[in-house]
Amino acid sequence: NTIHVTGRVGSNPEPRYFDDGKVVVNISLACKRKYHTAERKHLNLRSGEEETDWYGLEIWGQTAEFVSKFVDKGARVGVVGSLQIDEWNDKSTGELRSRPKVVVRDFDILETKAE
């Protein structure tokens, strides 16, 4: 599968290095939902009211190195990758939790935080 997502980085990247030389960066991405006027009315959303979806991004190799050096929290980015669902049991409640994750193939900086 392939997913294209554009949003703002929600956390500063921190690379993790493995003994075999591989590197991974995991960051969050906030994506605001946009609605047509008719959809807003159907969903009872007021003008200007927004919803945000959060995705986990898993970035490997040279792209991970690039992201760790040049991307900060708040940057607007575009990614292409494969959508996966991470599942785990909550340690405090035992409840099954899930979160969408994008294993990134292509990463573009569209706007830095300062812009």
Q: How confident is the model at residue 10 (pLDDT cuts 50, 70, 90)?
A: very high
The domains located in the chain, with CATH, are 3-111 (2.40.50.140)
Average pLDDT over residues 11-35: 92
pLDDT tens per residue, range 39-93: 777 777 766 667 788 999 999 999 999 999 999 999 999 999 999 998 999 999 9
DSSP 37: H
Angle at 12 between CA 10 and CA 13, to 5 degrees: 115
**CB atoms closer than 10 angstroms to residue 69:** 9
Q: pTM of the full predicted structure?
A: 0.80
pLDDT at 23: 97
Does residue 115 register a pLDDT over 70?
no
